[in-house]
Amino acid sequence: MSQEEVKQNLEDIEKSNQAQQKEGEQQIQDGKQLSPEEEQKLKEKKAKKALNAKIYDLQKKLSRGIQVISQTEGKAPEELFSFKEATSNLFVLHFGIGEEADYVTVRDYVNSVAGPHKLTVFPGLGYGYIQFDDIKKAEQTINSLESFEQIENCHYKEMTYEKKIRPTFFLYAKCKLTDICQNKNNDFPEAQRKVDAPGLIFQEEFITQDYEKLIMEEIDKKEWNKLAKRKVQHYGYEFLYGINSINKDNVKNN
């Protein structure tokens, strides 16, 4: 079932649920006491409505996650994911920023259901890559997850990342880790202590050690954001790592 069909189906169910709920509320307003059977039916309808809303929300998240990976890697989904056959590697959509909490939470879960593996998370991105030495371990991981028959390739688990619960999706990977753009090393120029740049003046010991300590103490009083291999502070607009953009509605340390 396509996303458009699921959306239309949910909209039809939503309209039906609203009409039935209004009918029940109207009966109460009219002074008519609902029978135990009618109350039970109303509860079931509300539960069905909540389930349908959850399915729709999960499908949107999964579709968006696949789109983000495809756009970031510059490859079509069919090149990245194995939708029909199991493989020994998995993509994991954690929707975080590739920090330590994302790594630890996913690692510990996979260890608990499949054992040893190699997990790679990418700083600033909401997905990672898992390698197994046996395809059966990848299948164990997928089989341990929740799924909905209404959503194709939906295998997920609600995981807690530093007290925040996020749905985490796992998909069989068609490509190897070496084929992923985010896994390639960046080439940095060799660093030099002194650079000959016209107009640039370098003055050693410009401030005292006590003043340097005072500055660092003031900086440490502000909130740090922990990433996979570093911690950062934002000054001015908040930086959104997952999309390499800024949030003008959130100004930090002004």
In a domain, 197, yes or no: no
Q: Do 84 and 171 have their domain in common?
A: yes
Q: Which residues pair with 225 in a beta bridge?
A: 232
In a domain, 198, yes or no: no
DSSP annotation of 20 reads H
Q: Do 105 and 178 have their domain in common?
A: yes
In a domain, 189, yes or no: no
Provide the CATH number for the domain around residue 130. 3.30.70.330
In a domain, 201, yes or no: no
Range of the domain at 179: 77-183
Residue 17: pLDDT over 60: no
Q: Do 123 and 170 have their domain in common?
A: yes
Give pLDDT tens digits for 130-146.
999 999 999 999 999 99
Residues 220-241, mean pLDDT to the nearest whole number:
79
Q: Do 122 and 219 have their domain in common?
A: no
Q: Do 89 and 163 have their domain in common?
A: yes
Residue 148 identity (one-letter amino acid): F
pLDDT of residue 167: 94
Answer for the pair 27, 34: CB distance below 8 angstroms, yes or no: yes
Give pLDDT tens digits for 159-175.
999 888 999 999 999 99
In a domain, 89, yes or no: yes
Q: Do 84 and 57 have their domain in common?
A: no
Q: Do 111 and 168 have their domain in common?
A: yes
Q: Do 103 and 161 have their domain in common?
A: yes
Answer for the pair 254, 248: CB distance below 8 angstroms, yes or no: no
Task: Give helix 3-29 / helix 36-73 axis angle, nearest 10°.
Answer: 150
Q: Do 91 and 131 have their domain in common?
A: yes
Domain count, the chain: 3
Residue 94: pLDDT over 90: yes
Answer for the pair 162, 173: CB distance below 8 angstroms, yes or no: no
Give pLDDT tens digits for 190-213.
555 566 677 877 788 889 999 999
Q: Do 10 and 47 have their domain in common?
A: yes
Q: Do 26 and 97 have their domain in common?
A: no
Answer for the pair 129, 156: CB distance below 8 angstroms, yes or no: no
Nearest Cα to Cα of residue 209 among 219, 217, 198, 197: 217
In a domain, 14, yes or no: yes
pTM of the model: 0.61
- Token pair 């109207």 is found at 26
In a domain, 203, yes or no: no
In a domain, 27, yes or no: yes
Mean pLDDT of the chain: 82
Give pLDDT tens digits for 76-89.
999 999 998 999 99
Which tokens in the block code for residue 87?
A: 């493989």
Q: Do 117 and 32 have their domain in common?
A: no
